[in-house]
Amino acid sequence: MKGWAFALVVIFSVLLSWSIPRGESERAFLYFSSHEPLVKVVSLASADGGQDFFMEMTDSVATNIEYDFYRDTCPEAETIVRSTMAQIYSQHKNVSAQLLRLFFHDCFIQGCDASVLLDHSNGNKNHSVEKQAVPNKTLKGFDKIDQIKEVLENVCPAVVSCADILALATRDGVVLAGGPFYPLFTGRRDSARSYYDEAMAEIPKPDDNITQTLHLFSLRGFTDRETVSLLGGHNIGKIGCEFIQSRLHNFKGTGKPDPTVSPGFLNEMRVFCEDNGNEKSSQGSPMAATMASPMAFPTAGPMAAPMASSPMASRGMSEKPALRGMPYFQQLSSSVSSGAGFDTHYYQSLLRGRGLLFADQQLMANERTARLVRAYASDDGSTFRMDFARAMMKMSNLNALTGSQGQVRLECTLPVSS
């Protein structure tokens, strides 16, 4: 029964995402806030094998994750996340991209367990944590999750997990930024452990070739199509100049710029980022490299940026002065007609050879992924929005801790003491 209810929600959400004109997503967001549960207004329908996908989704997640998990223990939980996110977004438009990137970095390493938020691993202050790993050092949005958690703790103490907060806040941020709504299971629990070594080794890099990128995503169960759609999250936010520098000056240690970048585009990037210094070896992530983007990868070079000898507080790490960055939207796609963040401009940029990251542009180096890029670029964004929503639903269920596994942290930066 739970599976069918979720399927109904998914069908309605996807249909609505197709039908909402870009620029109307915030209005739809408000609609969802006051019209729940969604199941009541959905009729059973399916197209293009959609029902099989919905059943696959419901069969593949842990038993204790379900739609509206907090309906008895904290009925207002999802409404509180939505309203708090709306308040944050009204003052900080970049929060959507920040949380999308933060969510990816959490789920990509050992699943969606909020381990990336931890300052301690199992209470051991001397153990390096994920947020200290090179790909994660430019992550932002920790303070926004803390803000939402504080509101929820005042209403429902020790009930709503940080993992669920991050998943819900990310989804709501996507909607506020003009992206599609997608339903989520809840009931995740939080990890008491952080995975520094895994974060160092397994987060995709901005200078990875297409084979490396597809391999890392396939290890998490993502198809080529899902991978290409997830990378479309670079539609919003900025790619930090530190992740572009090696392409401009010292690509893969050659002492020369990336030969695949056209001279005109190379000059444009140099003009934009030249005053940002000559950082040639910093690392980030392709769902990651951004001041605010979701999935920008870490840059080339050895994983050798100096690491702190002791954990740093999340607020301190997340409030570094912002470095310059380049967005796909408008700045680099001025000749592409674009109505909002979540449309085709990322893919159209790749078609024109204007991928900011080497890993982004590499989507055109493989015929399978290039065909997907061309397909996403060929319509009004509806296909991409549908695929992105489905892939985000799948990502949100990766290796979730449930039931007696994990814990519900009282503070998202600290595990609950045994």
- Per-residue pLDDT of 94-121, as tens digits, reads 999 999 999 999 999 999 999 999 998 8
Q: In whole angstroms, what is the distance from residue 294 CA to residue 120 CA?
A: 24
Q: Give the CA dihedral 275, 281, 287, 291, nearest 10 degrees.
A: -30
CA distances from residue 199 to 110, 134, 335 in whole angstroms, order as listed = 9, 8, 37
Question: 208: how many CB neighbours lie within 10 A of its CB?
Answer: 21
Output the CA angle 386-30-336, nearest 5 degrees.
45
Instruction: Write the DSSP assignment of 54-118 as a string of letters.
Output: HHHHHHHS-TT-EETTTTTT-TTHHHHHHHHHHHHHHH-TTHHHHHHHHHHHHHHTTSSSSGGG-
- pLDDT tens, position by position, 147-199: 999 999 999 999 999 999 999 999 999 999 999 999 999 999 999 999 999 99
3-state secondary structure of 275: helix
pLDDT tens series, the chain, 418 aa: 555 555 555 555 545 444 444 444 444 444 444 333 333 222 223 333 444 444 445 444 445 689 999 999 999 999 999 999 999 999 999 999 999 999 999 999 999 999 999 998 877 777 899 999 999 999 999 999 999 999 999 999 999 999 999 999 999 999 999 999 999 999 999 999 999 999 999 999 998 999 999 999 999 999 999 999 999 999 888 888 888 888 998 898 899 999 999 999 998 888 888 754 444 433 445 554 443 334 544 333 322 233 333 333 333 333 333 456 555 544 443 433 334 568 888 999 999 999 999 999 999 999 999 999 999 999 889 999 999 999 999 999 999 999 999 999 999 999 998 5
Q: Which of 105, 120, 127, 345 is catalytic?
A: 105
For strands 185-186 and 66-67, give the pairing.
antiparallel
Tell me which residue has tokens 């597809």: 214
Phi-psi region of 20 (alpha: psi -120 to 50; beta: other; left: phi over 0): beta
Q: In whole angstroms, what is the distance from residue 373 CA to residue 93 CA?
A: 27
CA distances from residue 416 to 75, 117, 190 in whole angstroms, order as listed = 24, 13, 10
The 8-class DSSP code of residue 189 comes to B
Residue 105 annotated among the catalytic residues of the structure: yes
With 0.95 as the threshold, say if the pTM is over it: no
Neighbouring C-alpha atoms within 13 Å toward the C-beta of 375: 15
